[in-house]
Amino acid sequence: MESESVCDCPEIKDQDWHNKEMNWSGKIFYFEDVPHFLNIPLGLEKRQHGMLEAIQRKGYTIANREMILHQPGLFKGRILIEIDDPEQYDANVIQLENTRVLTRVYHGSRAGIKNAVEELKVFAQDRVHVLPGTIYLWYVTCPKCAQSRGGDKTVLLARV
């Protein structure tokens, strides 16, 4: 029997994440910048694994290993992983203050995320009457599990 390659992607319920408003004030993240070319990250998976090793090496504790956020950018973006409050911060640790997040679940290929982001912006304007300051992407499925789970799933999170 052939062994299947198993991933660490979480199983989430859409209703827990779609069109929700959350208070993220006080959340702490370890981050690293990642090069992009026209909003496409270069070496994203390799960078994520390196970040997990760096977090462990620095003695930080990951608060939610399943959620790795990606902040896209034209030539430089960012990866963020939530950690517990460390005794000492370094230059790669940020704490969010007065932060509300609006969320939407997107089913489809990464090529269609641009339209989903526009829908999230409209949702934010309708809900809180402001455009999001920052939008994060959480790729809930990976290429290993997407097909068995009915396709790609991404949670979009907008800081408002």
pLDDT digits (tens, 9 = 90+) for 93-111: 999 999 999 999 999 998 8
Find the mean pLDDT for residues 60-75: 92
pLDDT surpasses 60 at 1: no
State pTM to two decimals. 0.90
Residues 103 and 44 in one domain: no
Question: Tell me, what DSSP letter sits at residue 62?
Answer: B
Is 36 contained in some domain? yes
The number of domains in the chain is: 2
Give Cα separations from 143 to 8, 11, 112, 140, 153 (angstroms).
12, 15, 16, 10, 11
Say what the pLDDT of residue 144 is: 86
Residues 155 and 112 in one domain: yes
| Domain of residue 74, residue span | 27-95
Q: Which two tokens stand for residue 135?
A: 């939008």
Burial (0-12, 13-18, 19+ Cβ within 10 Å), 107: middle
Instruction: Give yes or no for a contact between 155 and 105, defined as CB atoms under 8 angstroms apart.
Output: yes
**Last-in-domain residue among 46, 71, 95:** 95
